[in-house]
Amino acid sequence: MSDTFRALVIEDQDGKQKAGFKTLSVADLPDEDVLVDVSYSTLNYKDGLAVLGKGIARRLPMVGGIDLAGTVAESKSPDFKPGDKVIVNGYGLSELYWGGYSQKQKLKPEWLIKLPDAFTMQDAMAIGTAGYTSMLCVLALEKAGVTPDKGDILVTGAAGGVGSVAIALLAKLGYRVIASSGRAETADYLKKLGAAEVISREETMGSGRPFDKERYAGAVDCVGSKILAAVLAQIKYGGAVAACGLAGGNDLPTSVLPFILRGVSLLGVDSVMAPREKRIEAWSRLATDLDKSLFADMTRVEPMTNLPSLAADIINGQIKGRVVIDVNA
């Protein structure tokens, strides 16, 4: 195999971050202990921001891609040996450390998780950070006591990556799922994933008052801002919302009423720095609780060369489900 390989590199151009494809060699990679031959990465909302130069990279030059799946080629760590199949999600890839949009990458061993037996590398990237975040949201709701018998669960930003996987997981676990989507044309897709009902963003807003009629036992929110405020106002007594996203904005124009009058909990979910035990728990639950037969509907595989246009699509809310990036195509 040739010593050189391709990567998507974000660099400074006249004071702005600009992404482009470059040819690198192993000597260009960071000085980390495990060299991985990357097979697949993914496209998450944050990847879209990074590829469009919207300030995700905090060091330049930066190789984008917050997820990767590949095979260990060389390792100075006793925990990994050549041939091991591994995945990485988050840990500051594409922000502080070089990420998965590269045919090879050097990584810290403590970031690597062995590929669960239940998944191929492509499956693991069909899940990616988005899907593993969905599982973290489900785990947070379970820990808050939101069980299927408590009532309906709302998923906002439903047709996106986190939303799609959250619907599939919750439905398989026996929850009655209401999907909130701004794209009416995705209704059949969302029902196939397991949504019992699909509602518009307008309907999700309810009355718009800070304290509304009790409607949902819990929610997974990918959107933030006014939608999250409206969701909080409609959570039943003692319910909870797992908040992981900001696709609609990072503000939260709400009041304390749902918290102090209904005992509602707002559960923050972070995937990037989640501790290793939590990641392993999430991936082992994904192995049992995600119906793999849905991957074909939920996922498409795209070559790395298409990243610039895919990045614009995800930021414009035009991606349905998950996109796997084949870095060698």
Residue 238 belongs to what H/E stretch? strand 235-243
Per DSSP, the three-state class of 319 is coil
Q: Does position 42 bind ligand NDP by CB under 6 A? A: no
- Choosing from 52, 88, 269, 324, the residue that interacts with ligand NDP (CB under 6 A) is 269
Of 24, 284, 47, 83, which Cα lies nearest the Cα of 161? Answer: 47
* Cβ atoms 133, 89 nearer than 8 A: no
276-289 helix and 161-172 helix, angle to the nearest 10 degrees: 60
Per DSSP, the three-state class of 64 is coil
Of 319, 301, 286, 273, which Cα lies nearest the Cα of 126? Answer: 301
Least Å from the CB of residue 172 to ligand NDP:
19
Rg over alpha carbons for the chain, rounded to the nearest Å, is: 20
Which range in 8-16, 72-80, 222-230, 276-284 contacts ligand NDP by CB under 6 A?
222-230
Least Å from the CB of residue 267 to ligand NDP:
11
Q: Does position 182 bind ligand NDP by CB under 6 A? A: yes
Specify the amino acid at residue 201.
R
Tokens 């119906």 belong to which residue?
A: 291
Q: Does position 239 bind ligand NDP by CB under 6 A? A: no
Residue 144 is encoded by which pair of tokens?
């808050």
Least Å from the CB of residue 25 to ligand NDP:
32
Query: CA distances (Å), 220 to each of 32, 64, 169, 279, in order?
Result: 36, 27, 11, 18
Counts of helices then strands in the chain (DSSP H, E): 10, 16
Q: Does position 314 bind ligand NDP by CB under 6 A? A: yes
Q: Does position 108 bind ligand NDP by CB under 6 A? A: no
Q: Considering only residues 245-264, where is the footprint of ligand NDP by CB under 6 A?
A: 245-248
- Choosing from 50, 222, 231, 240, the residue that interacts with ligand NDP (CB under 6 A) is 222
Q: Does position 160 bind ligand NDP by CB under 6 A? A: yes
> What does the per-residue mask of binding to ligand NDP show for 186-215, with x meaning CB under 6 A?
---------------x--------------
Residue 298 is encoded by which pair of tokens?
């939920």
Size of the site for ligand NDP (CB under 6 A): 32
Q: Does position 41 bind ligand NDP by CB under 6 A? A: no
Q: Does position 181 bind ligand NDP by CB under 6 A? A: yes
Please identify the residue of the shown chain whose CB is closest to the bound ligand NDP: 160
Return the number of the residue (72 or 304) whose C-beta is nearest ligand NDP.
304
Of 42, 156, 323, 204, which Cα lies nearest the Cα of 167? Answer: 156
Return the number of the residue (5 or 91) whose C-beta is nearest ligand NDP.
91
Q: Considering only residues 116-155, where is the footprint of ligand NDP by CB under 6 A?
A: 129-130, 133
- Give residues in contact with ligand NDP (CB under 6 A): 44-46, 129-130, 133, 157-163, 181-183, 201, 222-223, 227, 244-248, 269-272, 314, 317, 319
